A and B are shown apart, each in its own frame.
Chain A
């Protein structure tokens, strides 16, 4: 079919594995190397440096949150009711807050300006200033009240105010407080409790736009930069601290 003139090319590149005479030399060497003489040559630092790097990665993950939870100001956030059919899933609970909804934030001073100037397809940071409630030391704690919204970190905060940083994703604002991991054995109990709290008779029917009370609240710590970390969960008068 073709002129099969043998080519005497000195290039002995490893051919495809289909070649009938295997290129045994490099292969045997390779097999040899991978198992025998090589490990002896590897100095310890070549193991310890990557290990240190890996350890640094592990520690770096919670570093920011650990800092926040040590130095942060404790505040309480009002959650919005969760879908009862969506409760029993996985090891985590996804929470939403009243300050997660752009519609609610728009009513605050600075809110309308922020959402008007930021298009929905671009992520943008925002700060929500929250004010401490008048009646402290209640059980469950009274949630802090959002008072204004700004795109820049506010510097003129009153002593009873904190600025919480969030990120606008286009349809909601996330604060990094949305996921709550819970232990397996307490999951069902907690979910039942949340469910009951939400459907409790006598509780005022919640309509969008109205301030939502009861259900459950979340204790959070906020540091000076607006970073936040969830601390515990209150369902009625019971506190879950994971």
Chain B
């Protein structure tokens, strides 16, 4: 990420280089063109203008809303509909044409962008008011869902990341409202068909959008989060925990998301080409721009999962009693599960093909092998515990083992590659694990004090060691990233 600060410094330095004769005017010009050094001042003032404009826009919007609310009842229904539609179209049209016209200048362009966002909000307000005018008593999550779809359409049309994020938020709000409303059993309405498969829908909607919006990392990260969480919550593994015949589904719910995220690659269909070639040093396979993010999310998922299930009482007592609608054995409700399963298998098949050409002694500890073992072990533990025989002792032990292995592997990778985030992620996981185990099992105060001190000293020493041994040169070289991602 090139920060503005960096560009400022670069400009300062480059001017000095030029004056000192280190570089000539043409090189300075090339640097200036590349980093847009001329625009630094302008962009700062633009930002200020943008903030002012957005603030003004919000106040203006509030004013309009209040005015409309004040006179709402006096106007006829037809006039109200006309007003709503014209406001909606007007704001969007103004926004689009301002945003699209570069000649006007960036300030106004941003105003246009802001208006487009306002237009997306007006869409929701309009839908709510229309529904209110006819005293509809539908569920609010339906509104959020449809609103989100409308915003997604515009995000696709204009390739705007901001609209994509807004749509993601709306769909997420809708989903959670539905989830907490407990309407799981209501399969008669369309929303009851759509919502349980939301992980699939969110993936189909947002992953292509992330590529379409000039490879937006933000959108991809959000899609990954949506997929992983909605997949788990769609299956409701804790509700079907008690059903022996649903054990495989519990195992899939927890093991599939990290496995798929780790193996994620949009070049899945090139499997045959790659596997067919017998070259010793193959042309590097095309790497997905997002696979590093997906792998980070996979590690995050495992971290959360291992931490949550490292508590033994979860395995001792189980969860709440099953509700009547939790497990009806209706497999068609979980069509998305099968689809994701196929994708995961394809992804891992591709990874295993690739392994042939690459050294098995991988530099990173959190690698394909480790993730594969974690996935298989996770699935096995959950399946065994729910379907075959409860494992009140072995399951938490194994999960703890994986938790600490993952933490240590992350610390090791952080050190080896000089990535601060990986290192501290592993460190926090390790300390969190140790402290939780100590507080969970009734240990003597003296031992507690000892562990606290040990953790504290350990963290300080590790931190100092890490900062001293940080090798910037190392991290400059991308890790063999087709093989490993950076959590």
User: Taking beta carbons and an 8 Å cutoff, which residues of A are in contact with B?
Assistant: 1-22, 24, 27-28, 30-40, 42, 46-47, 49-51, 53-55, 57-59, 61-62, 65-66, 69, 121-125, 174, 176-181, 183-184, 186, 229-230, 242
Residues of B within 8 A of A47 (CB): 92, 96, 100, 154, 157-158
Cβ of B21 under 8 Å from chain A? no
Other-chain contact of A15, B88, B292, B420 (Cβ < 8 Å) = B292
Name the B residues within 8 Å of A3 (CB-CB): 363
Q: 8 new A-B pairs (CB below 8 Å) besides A13-B478, A47-B100, A179-B137?
A: A9-B477, A16-B421, A22-B1, A30-B215, A36-B102, A50-B150, A176-B136, A229-B135
B103 to chain A, nearest CB (A): 9
Say which size band chain B's interface belongs to: 35 or more
B73 at the interface (CB under 8 A from A): yes
Known: A7-B477, A18-B475, A35-B109. A27 touches B284 (CB 8 A): no
Looking across the interface, which residue of chain A has its beta carbon closest to that of B73?
A183
- The 8 Å CB contact of B289, one of A13, A17, A38, A229, is A13
Chain B contacts with A in 405-462, Cβ cutoff 8 A: 412, 415-416, 418-422
B478 engages A176 (CB within 8 Å): no
A39 & B137 in contact (Cβ 8 Å cutoff)? no
Residues of chain A within 8 A (CB-CB) of B127 are 57-58, 61
Q: Is the interface of A mostly helix, strand, loop or mixed?
A: mixed
Residues of A near B330 (CB, < 8 A) are none
Residues from chain B with Cβ under 8 Å of A50 in the complex: 150, 153-154, 156-158
Interface residue B279 (Cβ < 8 Å from any Cβ of A)? no
Query: What chain A residues lie within 8 Å of B412 (beta carbons)?
Result: 1-2
B474 within 8 A of A: yes
The count of A-to-B residue pairs whose CB atoms sit within 8 angstroms is 202
B370 contacts the other chain (Cβ, under 8 Å)? no
| In contact, B475 and A13 (Cβ under 8 angstroms) | no
Shortest distance between the CB of A100 and any CB in chain B (Å): 12
Given A6-B474, A46-B158: A58 and B130 within 8 A (CB)? yes
Query: Which residues of chain A have C-beta atoms less than 8 A from B267's C-beta?
Result: none
- B277: CB under 8 A from chain A? no
What string of 1s and 0s marks CB contacts (under 8 Å) between B209-245 and chain A?
0000011010000000000000000000000000000
Q: Which residue from A1, A55, A57 sits with its C-beta under 8 Å from B416?
A: A1
Q: A19-B475, A31-B2, A242-B73 are in contact. Are A55 and B88 (CB under 8 A)?
A: yes
B5 CB → nearest A CB, Å: 12
Contact call B89/A15, Cβ cutoff below 8 A:
no
Contact partners of A59 in chain B: CB under 8 A: 85, 130
Binding site for A on B (CB under 8 A): 1-2, 34-36, 69, 72-73, 81, 84-85, 88-89, 92-93, 96, 99-102, 106, 109, 123, 126-127, 130-138, 146-147, 149-150, 153-154, 156-159, 161, 185-186, 188-189, 214-215, 217, 284, 287, 289, 291-292, 296, 324-325, 363, 412, 415-416, 418-422, 469, 471-472, 474-482, 486
Q: Which residues of A contact B480 (CB under 8 A)?
A: 7, 9, 11
Partner of B135, one of A15, A46, A179: A179
- Check if A65 sits within 8 Å of B154, measured CB to CB: no
What's the Cα separation between A15 and B2 when bound, in Å?
A: 14
Complex: A10 Cα to B283 Cα, angstroms: 9
Distance (whole angstroms) from the CB of B326 to the closest CB of chain A = 11
Residue of B nearest to A181 (CB): B132
The answer to whether A13 and B292 touch (CB under 8 A), given A39-B109, A181-B132, A229-B134, is: yes
List, sorted by A's number, 8 A–B pairs whose CB atoms are closer than 8 Å. A1-B469, A4-B416, A7-B479, A16-B486, A18-B420, A19-B476, A31-B2, A53-B153
The answer for the CA separation of A47 and B421 in the assembled complex, in Å, is 40
CA distance A181 to B486 in the complex (A): 53
- Bound form: Cα–Cα A229–B81 in Å: 17
User: Of A40, A58, A125, which is within 8 A of B88 by CB?
Assistant: A58
**Interchain CB contact under 8 A, A42 and B158:** yes
A19: shortest Cβ distance to chain B, in Å?
A: 5
Contacts of B287 in A (CB 8 A): 11, 13
- Set of chain B residues within 8 Å of A20, measured between Cβ atoms: 418, 472, 475-476
Cross-chain contact of B136 among A27, A54, A65 (Cβ < 8 A): A65
CB–CB B34/A28 < 8 A: yes
B196 CB → nearest A CB, Å? 15
How far does the alpha carbon of A65 sit from the alpha carbon of B132 in the complex, in Å?
A: 11
Q: Known contacts being A11-B480, A20-B476, is A58 close to B84, with CB within 8 Å?
A: yes
Question: Would A15 and B102 count as touching, CB distance under 8 A?
Answer: no
Contacts of B154 in A (CB 8 A): 47, 50-51, 54
Cross-chain contact B156 with A15 (CB below 8 angstroms): no
Please give the distance in Å from B427's CB to the nearest CB on chain A.
14
Cβ-defined contact, B159 with A42, below 8 A = yes
Between A31, A49, A58, A121, the greatest number of chain B beta carbons within 10 A of the residue's beta carbon is seen for A58
B residues near A33, Cβ cutoff 8 Å = 214
Bound form: Cα–Cα A34–B420 in Å: 29
Q: How far is the CA of A229 from the CA of B34 in the complex (A)?
A: 62
State in angstroms the CA–CA spacing of A178 and B139 once bound together. 12
CB pair B475 A180 closer than 8 Å: no
CA distance A11 to B415 in the complex (A): 22
Per the bound structure, the CA–CA distance linking A216 and B61 in Å amounts to: 38
Q: Which of A7, A12, A19 has the most CB of B within 10 A?
A: A19
* A16, B419: Cβ atoms closer than 8 Å: yes
